[in-house]
Structure formats: C-alpha cells, structure tokens
A = this chain, B = another copy of it.
Amino acid sequence: MSHPALAVTVDLVVLTVRADTLSVLLVERGEEPFLGRWALPGGFVRPDEDLPAAAERELAEETGLPRGLVHLEQLASYGAPGRDPRQRVVTVCYLALAPDLPVPRAGTDAADARWFPVAEAQGLAFDHDHLLADGVERARSKLEYSPLATAFCPPEFTVAELRKVYEAVWGTGLDPRNFHRKVTGAAGFLDPTGATTTRDGGRPAALFRRGPATTLHPPLLR
C-alpha cells in the first residue's frame, strides 16, 4: 500500500528546580529556521530507533545530562501542518525531570544551552511555547498523585528539600510540619537511609531515597 512519508522528531521538555524556581533547559538554535532563537532540545528519529531511545539519545547529545538521574516519560505528539516552516514534521514530545545539575554543555546543533525559569521562557521557536506549557502542566498534576517530585532531587535528600520542590512547581507555600507527616506516612514514597545532614543549619535532617511506590496513597493535593 502506498502512504505518505513524514519527518518524525522527538522534542524534550527538560525541567529542574534551581534556586527554588521551576526551570527549563533551552538550546539556542545554530541553524535555520529560527536561527538564534531559543528552543526545546530535540531532533529527528532515526530509521531503526524506538521513540524512547531517540528521546534518550537527544537528551545525551544535546544536553549532556547523565541518563540514570533523569526521569523520562512521553508527553504528547504534535503534527499541525506548518508547525515547521521547512516541511511537514510530526514531533513526539517527552517530559524529562532532573535534579539541579551543573549547567550542561551545548550540543551538536546548538549554539548554547541554558536553564531558564519557566516564567521567562517565552517566544520559543516552532510551537515550543505550547509544548512547554503542556509539559509544565503535566509535571504539576503528576506531583499530586505520583512520587515524581523525587526526580527533581538528588539520590539522597531531606524532607525540606522535597517540600521546596513542591513549593517551586506549584507556586504555593506548604506547612513544613504537615508536609513532613504526609510524605513520611505515604507508603513506599520515601526510604529512610538512617543518615542525617545539617546542610541547612538547625537540627540535623534525616536523609531519604525515593521508595518503590508508583502512585501516592493518599495523594498530596495542591
């Protein structure tokens, strides 16, 4: 059977929390179209490559972020004719959540790569404003009923650090005492390591790793 052939790309909404602010990784385009404009990292899917593999490859190539520390999930696909001025392109967008890692290097096709507070990330190339908004909304809602907030934290973290993630992503303040009770009470959310830290001053805080749970019972509500 005959069929039309289309170009397929993966794009990445890579989020982190830096300085108590939800931030997104953008690359400065080194090619036309949109040369010099900021955009989400991404690129073409190769002929024999599965979609998650393409997303992981682009994450490594364009951002230099280490694979193991980054949570990656599919967000949605976008294929409006005209979204790329060169040709018809369907993009499969992935959402990546990372801890606050050192500024990554620019990739092959990018002139520069930097973290931006999501509130300042506007006027992006293509329809990337739209993809970013969808990714932020997904992240916000998934914090409620999944243990995904731990993806923004280093492998070992304190309850207060986890709370700052929620406050940054949701843009709200949370009661530290009730938050502590909730997250330590949700089965499978946090695994105590037994160690403590005093990096924020005051009484030492217990350190946790992410637990085995995939959903939160009960959920944490905004």
| Interchain CB contact under 8 A, A81 and B6 | no
Q: Which of B44, B47, B77 contacts A77 (CB 8 A)?
A: B77
Q: Is A76 an interface residue (CB 8 A)?
A: yes
> Which residues in A have some Cβ–Cβ distance to B below 8 Å?
1, 3-8, 31, 44-51, 74, 76-81, 88, 90, 92
| Interchain CB contact under 8 A, A79 and B48 | no
Which of chain B's residues have a CB closer than 8 A to the CB of A48?
Answer: 81, 88
Which of chain B's residues have a CB closer than 8 A to the CB of A45?
Answer: 4, 6, 79, 90
Question: Knowing A4-B44, A5-B7, A44-B3 touch, does A51 contact B79 (C-beta < 8 A)?
Answer: yes
Which of chain B's residues have a CB closer than 8 A to the CB of A4?
Answer: 7-8, 44-47
| Interchain CB contact under 8 A, A47 and B6 | yes
| Residue with the highest number of chain B CB atoms closer than 10 Å, among A7, A51, A77 | A77
Complex Cα–Cα for A86 and B47 (A): 14
| Residue with the highest number of chain B CB atoms closer than 10 Å, among A8, A45, A88 | A8
Question: Knowing A6-B5, A6-B6, A46-B4 touch, does A51 contact B31 (C-beta < 8 A)?
Answer: no
Which of chain B's residues have a CB closer than 8 A to the CB of A88?
Answer: 47-48
